[in-house]
């Protein structure tokens, strides 16, 4: 994957993040991932409670983890191109 392809992918990821409901996201007492008064996802599956909890934790943290990782990648790409 070349630099241009990486940059295009990062732009697409950032666009999806910007369109998503703002954070922070959390899990309410009904097993719904929420942002303020907005439902993001309902954790209702046939998975075990432990797996469902891990999935909810992943979804909740993705709202802040993905923008952070994109910014780190962009910073590192800038250092490499300046390097």
* Extents of the domains making up the chain: 46-83
Kindly state the helix (H) or strand (E) to which residue 20 belongs, with its residue range: none
Mean pLDDT of the chain: 89
Q: What is the pLDDT of residue 83?
A: 63
Distance CA 25, CA 21 (A): 9
pLDDT tens across 36-75, in order?
999 998 887 777 888 888 888 999 999 999 999 999 999 9
Residues 37, 57, 43, 55, CA torsion sign: positive
């Amino acid at each position: 994957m070349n630099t241009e392809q990486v940059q295009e992918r990062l732009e697409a990821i950032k666009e999806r993040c910007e369109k998503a409901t703002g954070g922070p996201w959390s899990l309410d007492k009904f097993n719904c991932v929420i942002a303020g008064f907005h439902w993001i996802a309902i954790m209702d599956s046939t998975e075990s409670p432990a797996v469902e909890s891990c999935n909810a934790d992943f979804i909740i943290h993705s709202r802040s983890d993905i923008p952070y990782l994109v910014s780190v990648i962009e910073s590192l790409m800038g250092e490499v191109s300046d390097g």
